[in-house]
Amino acid sequence: MKTKLLSLLLMTQTVFAIDLERGESETLEGVGNLTHPEFTGNILQDKLIPFEIKDSLGEVILTGNYHSRVFRSNSTGKLVFAGRVRDTSNPDGTFGWVTHVRLQGFGFVDVDAEAALDSASAGSVRASRASRNVAGDVLSYTIGPGLLNPPDESTFFFAGTQAESYTEDGRVTIFASNDFGGNSFSVELEGTLVPVKPPLCLELGERFFFETSYYYPIDVTGVAKGVQLRVETSPDLTAESWSLTSEPLRTVTGEITRAYGEVYGDYDGKQFFRVVCSLPEEGR
């Protein structure tokens, strides 16, 4: 097990965060706001996603909300992704409890995993264990050691990263059971907050060829919130020939952003274009 020591002033307690390697499973000790500033910070976005879980007969046994949160760490300045299960209930005549939660969308970042103690978060049942698949894109948090039995709620569980920006393209699967040692039931939800792969630079449309139009529209979807788009063109695809042809444009998560590449007359209407995404300097 690898751990990362955080140097904290005016403290007598040594605090560690779990460095969750690919293919590993680790016990979570639980953290508090005062003892672990890595997992506190300025909240950038909160999102509630309602869910219901059905048994094998199609009967709803548990409902609630999944709370997805992203904030910028007070300690590292990077993004921390948090989640918890809340507002749980069992419909009349049914019973069931949450066993674990599986997050997708973390394959390209290092992850520090932990869970909030009940004194440092809403909710009363914390995650006791975190694991990561070999590919690294899936994080699983075991809820317990006590049962998350409605109306109980979980505390926040954390995935600290080095990411600078985020999208709403993640997924979460919530698992529940209504029989000790029996079947497990689940529901998969879309739209959770997940990191964007640094260094936040990608090229779309490179080597596309266009002519006859002075302005060529380029639609880009799924770009991270706060990222800048710019259009560059080149007459021959050589590295030194790329030139900026549009003002940088901020994007918003989930919306289609339209950028325009301008065709210069002295290139005889023949150019290649690319769209480059980057994090604005003031956001670094």
Contact 36, 73 (CB under 8 A): no
- pLDDT confidence of residue 250: 55
Beta strands (DSSP E) in 41-126 are 41-54, 60-73, 79-89, 97-104, 112-115
- pLDDT confidence of residue 130: 97
- pLDDT confidence of residue 284: 36
Contacts 24+ apart (CB under 8 A), 141-147: 141/28, 141/83, 141/100, 141/101, 141/102, 141/103, 141/113, 141/115, 142/99, 142/100, 143/85, 143/98, 143/99, 143/100, 143/101, 144/99, 147/97
DSSP 8-state class, residue 240: G
Q: In tens digits, what is the pLDDT along the chain, a chain of 284 residues?
A: 433 322 222 232 334 468 999 899 999 988 876 567 888 899 999 999 999 999 999 999 999 999 999 999 988 899 999 999 999 999 999 999 999 999 999 987 889 999 998 766 789 999 999 999 987 889 999 998 888 999 999 999 999 998 888 889 899 999 999 987 778 999 999 999 998 754 333 343 333 333 334 444 555 555 555 566 666 766 666 667 767 665 665 554 444 455 554 444 444 445 566 666 655 554 33
Determine phi and psi for 124, rounding to 5 degrees. -130, -15
- pLDDT confidence of residue 153: 96
Classify residue 240 as left (phi > 0), alpha (psi -120 to 50) or beta: alpha
pTM over 0.75: no
Q: Which of 114, 71, 83 lies closest to 189 in space, CA to CA?
A: 83
The one-letter amino acid at 38: E
Q: How far apart are CA 148 and CA 129, in angstroms?
A: 14
Residue 141 CA: distances (Å) to CA of 2, 5, 102, 158, 216: 18, 22, 6, 9, 47
- 3-state secondary structure (DSSP) of residue 215: strand
Calculate Rg over the CA atoms of the chain.
Answer: 23
Contact 161, 80 (CB under 8 A): yes
Contact 164, 198 (CB under 8 A): yes
Q: Which of 94, 178, 100, 173 lies closest to 142 in space, CA to CA?
A: 100
Residue 15 CA: distances (Å) to CA of 32, 75, 85, 174: 10, 13, 26, 29
Residue 211 CA: distances (Å) to CA of 114, 263, 272: 54, 8, 9
* Domain ranges across the chain: 2-195, 203-283
